[in-house]
Amino acid sequence: MEQPAGELGWGAKTLDDLFLPDKPREINFVMLPAATVSGLVIGENGDHLDGVRVSLVGDEMPPSSSVVANTRTDKGGRFELTGIPTGFQYQVLVEPYEAKPPWLAWASAPIVFTQHDDGNAHIEYSSIDGQPVDFGFQQLNLILKGTGINWKTALTDAREKKLELTWDGLSSKTVVRAGMAFLELGNEPK
């Protein structure tokens, strides 16, 4: 076998960018903190929904991945997503227990998770006047509105929206500390 010469056809990659036998290279892995998010999935009538799939998806995904994290709610409607890479933009995608055409789902506006030493999940959030707010919470409750829409449409439509949360807790102009944060997904029933 011959080694290729010139550009390799993968952007501007050359032979110097390849890992080859007997050519040691240094690789540095930078470990970033990961976030954990837990909460409830709640239907319009207030029921805690069991067996519902909760996923985090986004444009910046690890190689060969379609989701960053996913799980199903337990019999009490509880979910927990762990090992969430911080600093990237994700959307919450909620799908019914049984996925079937027309593939109905609910999606959130983009969310950027951060991690702090207090053990709570934190997200980047902006106040009404656009100022950054340090938003920390213990539990994220997802409230589903309407019957859902096609999952691709849900993600596309929600991607253009601003993240809007409500919470029970203390807040100032620059800090929110909530026991529970509430995020409504979907549309009002017609």
Distance CA 158, CA 161 (A): 5
Distance CA 93, CA 150 (A): 11
pLDDT of 63 above 80? no
pLDDT of 40 above 90? yes
Distance CA 30, CA 50 (A): 37
Distance CA 187, CA 145 (A): 5
Q: How confident is the model at residue 24 (pLDDT cuts 50, 70, 90)?
A: confident
pLDDT of 4 above 90? no
- Contact by Cβ (8 Å): 180, 121: no
pLDDT of 190 above 60? no
Other Cβ atoms less than 10 A from the Cβ of 153: the count is 15
Strands 175-186 and 132-145: parallel
Q: To the nearest whole number, what is the mean pLDDT of the chain?
A: 86
Q: Residue 17 to residues 1, 6, 25, 186: CA-CA distances in angstroms?
A: 18, 11, 10, 45
Return the amino acid letter for 81: L
Structure confidence by residue, pLDDT tens digits, 117-156: 777 889 989 887 888 898 999 999 999 999 899 999 999 9
pTM (2 d.p.): 0.79
pLDDT of 189 above 50? no
- Contact by Cβ (8 Å): 102, 95: no
pLDDT value of residue 8? 64
Which residue reads 């203390």 in tokens?
170
Structure confidence by residue, pLDDT tens digits, 65-112: 788 899 999 999 999 999 888 888 999 999 998 878 888 999 999 999
Weakest-pLDDT range from 27-31, 101-105, 183-187: 27-31
- Contact by Cβ (8 Å): 56, 95: no
Average pLDDT over residues 154-172: 90
